[in-house]
Amino acid sequence: MKMWNKCWAVVMLVTFVIAGNTQANDCVPRELDFGIVCVCNATYCDDTPDNDPKIPESGTVYWYISSRSGLRLNLSQARFNSCEASSDTPVLTVDPSRRYQTIFGFGGAFTDSTGINIRNLSRAAQDQIIRTYYGRNGSRYSLGRIPIGGTDFSTRPYTYDDSTGDVSLRHFSLAPEDYNYKIPYIRRAIELNPDVRFVSSAWSAPAWMKTNQRINGLLGFLERRYYGTYVDYLIRFLQEYRNNGINVWGISTGNEPFNAFVPFDRLNVMAWTPRTVTEWVANYAGPMLENSEFNATKILLLDDQRFELPWVAAIVFRNPKAKHYISGTAVHWYFDQFFPSSILDDTHNLSPDKFILMTEACTGANILDNPKVALGSWERGQEYVLSIIEYMNHWGIGWIDWNLVLNRQGGPNWINNYVDAPIIVNPETDEFFKQPMYYALKHFSRFVERGSVRININNNLSNVKSTAFVTPSNEVVVVLYNRSNREEDVVLEDPNNGPVCLKLLPYSINTIIYAQ
């Protein structure tokens, strides 16, 4: 029986050496309430340099590691065929010939609260935040979500036309929040990544268009007489954002419409049922967008929890007109732990030509989560990485975080619905804290570029979760998460390259990259 101890030693010794060669800015760690954060300010932030070799030389593996113990995308190196496995060491086999969905990207939401918190920092620190998400040395986010009007993560309830009965939309106008908190930072993201794509969602139509005459509240449906007016309202939004240099790739049928059936829920919301949204898409939104200058804009169905997928998608897609106009389904992650990922498979199999995009996730949202912001929590980062792996392995084309930035309270939020975020600002010292959630997402967004294709990797291990991709530049990218409190030895086997041995640190995210 041959062991890999020599190989493990070599792999671990080169950690930090390679990172030093690429002149990475290392994490400045700070132990806070629940674990380690990386501290950034106006002049310094950890990064992953753009001059990292894009494709490792033949036989070489690059290996980025983040761990509960404090590593943050630290770079190591290993080689194929440099060691042999013991008979009881698990083998993870990558099969690039078995290909699945094409990946569209990763990103976060430009809410009012995000902009308010960024604006509370110095201009130099503001630029650092946008770079750390959208810059080449940062997460390389390729997606962004833009609320249409206000959300609960605003300081007030509002839409773009709150003038009662204004069916001609004469009083339509973007809000001060758009000009102060959204547009400037969105445009900066576009400067950093011109290929970024935006999906937009309205939380509610103007109250006067709804049956309950409120921006929130129980059973507030869009009145049928305003079905066309509401499409005109959305098209005006698309025009105004384009006039400000922002093109919107996709627009959903509305954020979390089923919250309107929950008594005492205070979230901004507008109700849809599968049958009413089918009629609206088939006879109004679809044809009106198609006949407008925005006929390339994608329509995304649902924008709500995945447990609603079976009956929503089945009913809507039975209508040929509605199905024609819908490009894909937007899904949120809340309550995922109670409903199997097979629901995603069933939705894909129902209409394989329609994509599935995860458009909202955050921790700290559960009623028992206290505090709402758990600074440095590795457990919350673990929730992110396990969710991303699950969505990738079940036909998701991307994964979009909720607020890009919040404060230490988890707001502001006009109904006090505070949650956590990957980056938390500390304006008193002109700093911001990058939490484990940030690095969980970066392990994917930094390396799995748009146009990558998910490939097969066999994995029946309980403690090590995995997913794998081939990128447009013909790299194989494998992401492994060891959710055990002990080291796990595994072999990664590629049919074209052979085996490479990996010792996965306890509670560690591992991104492995090599030439196909």
State which amino acid sits at residue 219: L
Is 256 known to be catalytic?
yes
Which residue out of 177, 279, 360, 431 is catalytically annotated? 360
Sheet holding 35-40, edge to edge: 29-32, 35-40, 431-434, 423-426, 405-406
Give the position of tokens 């002149």.
Answer: 23
The single residue listed with the structure tokens 């700070």 is 30
The tokens describing 41, both together, are: 């300010």
Tokens 């010939």 found at? 97
For 298, phi then psi, to 5°, come to -75, 145
User: Dihedral of CA 408/445/25/503: which sign?
Assistant: positive
CB 514 within 8 A of CB 62: yes
First to last CA, the chain: 30
Instruction: For the chain, state the CA radius of gyration.
Output: 23
Alpha helices for 93-222 (secondary structure H): 112-119, 123-134, 176-177, 183-192
- Whether omega before 412 lies within 30 degrees of 0, making that bond cis, reads yes
Distance of CA 291 to the CA centre of its chain: 31
CA distance 514 to 516: 6
Rounded to whole angstroms, the Cα distance separating 21 from 127 reads: 26
Cβ-based neighbours of 273, under 8 Å, separated by 6 or more: none
Nearest to 258 by CA among 272, 241, 248: 272
Asked about 191 being catalytic, the answer comes back as no
> What gap in Å lies between CA 502 and CA 504, rounded to an integer?
6
C-alpha 150/C-alpha 202 separation (Å) is 8
Residue 52, both tokens: 């990292």
Instruction: Output the CA torsion 95→99→100→105 (10° steps).
Output: 90
Which structure tokens are listed for 270?
């507008």
Q: Which residue in the list 256, 279, 383, 475 is annotated as catalytic?
A: 256
Please list the residues that pair with 358 across neighbouring strands: 331, 399
Residue 504 in tokens: 């996965």
Any idea which residues carry the catalytic annotation?
Answer: 256, 360
